[in-house]
Amino acid sequence: MSASREPALLGCESCGLVSANVVPEGDTSGWIQRCSLCGHALRARKPFAVQRTWACVAGAAVLYVPANVLPVLVTTNALQHGEHTLLGGIHELWVDGSWGLAIIVFIASIAVPVLKIGVLGLLAWTVRYAPAWRRLERARLYRLIEAVGHWSMLDVYVVLLLAATVRFGPLASAEAGPGLLWFAAVVVLTLLATWSFDPRLIWRDAEAPTNLQPAAT
């Protein structure tokens, strides 16, 4: 099989109406098929999905280094001046005995971004080099990172709130550190990477099952 098959039917992302996929002959540049019910553009694939995903994943992976090395929170009190990195903050919570909190922050700030970068890299790689490998598991992985993606913003909000309320001058004060900017950039880039990827690529050239009655549960 040389070219991948074009799907015969397209579903509208905005209203759900199903239309026949019209593939014009000859010059297709500038051709956009629109939904007859709501006018939204109908596409068999998101444009440049793999390239955009790679660009955002690579950017996120690079910025993840300063996000972890530089302090995200700077605190001052009567006795000392402290700089806290992401991992340092988690370590302090753990040492204080707040294990539950430490685990929550670890999942949101470390596990979720690393998972997103790793999974999207894997998905973008396998689309090209191992298209038929464990399609169902890859589809589930994509849905997982789509669902948990928001939670890496947690530490950004916590630092924002601490900096806004702990304002007692030399007695006690908290400020955002330079690492927070890079961490916020990692969060945005991983979100954009997730939205750029097209999960339909996982199923390119897959055999369609014969029974198309949805499985109601």
Number of residues that bind another protein (CB under 8 A): 70
Dist CA 216 CA 9 (whole Å)? 22
Check residue 56 for interaction with another protein (CB under 8 A).
Answer: no
Nearest approach in angstroms of CB 8 to another protein is 8
Region near another protein per CB under 8 A, out of 15-23, 50-58, 59-67, 114-122: 15-23
Dist CA 51 CA 108 (whole Å)? 27
Which of 3, 47, 165, 170 touches another protein by CB under 8 A?
A: 165
The SS3 call for residue 63 is helix
> Please, which of residues 85-144 interact with another protein by CB under 8 A?
93, 96, 98, 101, 104-105, 135-136, 139-140, 142-143
Q: Are 90 and 109 in contact (CB under 8 A)?
A: yes
Burial environment of residue 23 by CB neighbours within 10 A (0 to 12, 13 to 18, 19 or more):
exposed
Residue 99 CA, distance from chain mean position: 27
Nearest approach in angstroms of CB 101 to another protein is 6
Half-sphere exposure of 127 (CA within 13 A, CB side): 23
Dist CA 68 CA 86 (whole Å)? 6
Which of 39, 51, 144, 205 touches another protein by CB under 8 A?
A: 39
Task: Tell me the one-letter amino acid at 105.
Answer: V
Positions touching another protein (CB under 8 A) are 7-11, 13-18, 37-40, 44, 93, 96, 98, 101, 104-105, 135-136, 139-140, 142-143, 150-151, 153-154, 156-168, 171-172, 175-176, 180-181, 184-185, 187-188, 195, 199-200, 202-203, 206, 208-209, 211-217
